[in-house]
Amino acid sequence: MNQGMRYSVVAVGVSAVLFFFGTGFAPIPALTWIAPLPVLWLASRVSGRAAFGVAFLAYLLGQAGQFEFFLRTPSVPLPVGMGILVGSSLLFGLVVLLFRALLRRGQGLAAVFGAPAAWVAAMHLVTLVNPSGIIWPLATNQAEIVLVTQIASVTGAWGVEFLVLLVPCAVAAVASPGVRLRTGVVAAVVCGLTLGFGAWRLAGAGDVDGTSRKVAVLSSTRFQWAPDAASAGGRDLVRAYAERIAALPEGVRTVVLPEATFGTDESSLPAVVGSLTEVARRQDVDVVVGILHTTPAIKYNYSVYLPADGSKPVYYTKWHFAPGEPFKRGTELALAGRMGLANCMDLNFAAPSRDYGRAGARLLAVPAADEFGNGWQHGRMGLLRGVESGFSLAWAATWGRPMISDAWGRVLAETDTEGTREPFVVAVADVPAGPSGPTLYARFGDWFGWVCVAGTLLLILLLRRRDRFLDRERDDLVVAGADRSGSA
């Protein structure tokens, strides 16, 4: 085995291990920044074909922990799941190829910023057509590093995705022959400004206007998807939830229950709503509950708001489903004062989250249903949506990680439905109102993603023009040499 082959094998192995532990369902955030480095370092030292192959294999093997999820989940069709894994690995290979091409042409600064831009650009375009939305492969792993994630309030989580890839690109470029130190200095300045912005934004975090609200997320630990509310077991579950709501700590003003907590039809819905409305009125607490409602014509996946004053319920119809699901798709926001309603998979998409931010929501109540170990990952994706658009999040998951976070992405309370013998788990927190007014991201949307698209296209165009120019220069030199030989 020659030296290049040995380096390639080592790069695949090291990057794959780092990706495995630095991404996925229980990541070590620091490893996410390091994982691409061995492959990027190798890229300019081997052929383009080898660089692409090493990058593809390292990323694909690094996602091995998610294969089982896509094989088992009903939420993402298997072809879509496998397409996500293989497609993202192919994309990583192409990004590394672009990094190599720019570096070998002496464009160190373009390589450092162009590779992350290409990654973000492709991911952003995919979200426009992917029926499952996105859980950011790099940014989600940094969800609890609040100093980094504040940039999402300006750029969306795309800015975090960009930054995580920018750092190893800068290190690999500076370590390559012929790259000036100023390339690393520029990247360091960008990272410093990002972290400085994060520190400045966090300095203003807190209960700035004295209007915090005590919020609870409550979930059964026995996974049940839409149990029939009319059955004996369903009626018992309604009573059990009512008792748990009545036993919440003093001062709780809002409690959120999971997605599809109950399954109802037109005859059983009034009994469920009536029972929970009664306990809401008696305990002076707003209740949000997920209900899977079936009519003769179609199914609805509702998030239902039951006000503490016993007034008329507010129904939110879930917007986003896996392809082929026989549900009515919602198109309307549901606001109750400064609280908005959403539902699980809805947060895989920019809408309705960003729409709630623009509409002035300061808390998003989200009945959810996680599965097969992805509770942390899915909830942190929702947390990033809160940072993007400036709202706190009450994520009430069954078979997952019920969690409450504030508008700055700080986890205020969390519990776990697995690993306990208790029939219910609850997490409670005082939630500050959050920043006043929409964030820049809520106002302007995915502008950063589109900038990355434009920048990537421009880079590719310039590369092609430069290569044509170099080809012409070589041809002219060949002709000139032939002419000199003929003259001699």
Q: What tens digit of pLDDT does each residue of 332-344 get? A: 999 999 999 999 9
Beta bridge partners of residue 413, listed in sequence order: 404
What's the average model confidence in pLDDT over 363-390? 93
Residue 394 clears pLDDT 90, i.e. is over it: yes
Give the pLDDT of residue 483.
Answer: 53
CB within 8 Å of 88: residues ≥ 6 apart: 59, 63, 137
243, containing H or E segment = helix 232-246
pLDDT digits (tens, 9 = 90+) for 110-146: 999 999 999 999 999 999 988 889 999 999 999 999 9
Distance CA 487, CA 111 (A): 44
What is the structure's pLDDT at 474?
A: 52
For 196-233, how does the pLDDT look when each residue is reduced to its tens digit (9 = 90+)?
Answer: 999 999 998 876 666 799 999 999 998 889 999 999 99
pLDDT at 99: 96
Q: Which residues contact 399 (CB under 8 A, 6 or more apart)?
A: 223, 369, 370, 371, 375, 417, 418
pLDDT, the chain, mean: 91
Q: Is the peptide bond before 352 cis (omega within 30 degrees of 0)?
A: yes
Of 176, 161, 171, 138, the C-alpha closest to 46 is 176
More confident: 109 or 484? 109
pLDDT band at 467 (very low <50, low <70, confident <90, very high): low
What per-residue confidence (pLDDT) applies to 473? Answer: 43
pLDDT surpasses 60 at 237: yes
CB 36 within 8 A of CB 15: yes
What pLDDT was estimated at residue 470?
Answer: 47
pLDDT digits (tens, 9 = 90+) for 122-132: 999 999 988 88
The two tokens of residue 487 are: 């003259």
Residue 17 has pLDDT above 80, yes or no: yes
Q: Which pLDDT does position 209 carry in this prediction?
A: 64
pLDDT digits (tens, 9 = 90+) for 62-107: 998 888 788 877 777 788 788 889 999 999 999 999 999 999 998 9
Q: What is the pTM of this model?
A: 0.92
Of 33-42, 385-394, 435-444, the one with minimum mean pLDDT is 435-444
Percent of the chain with pLDDT over 90: 78
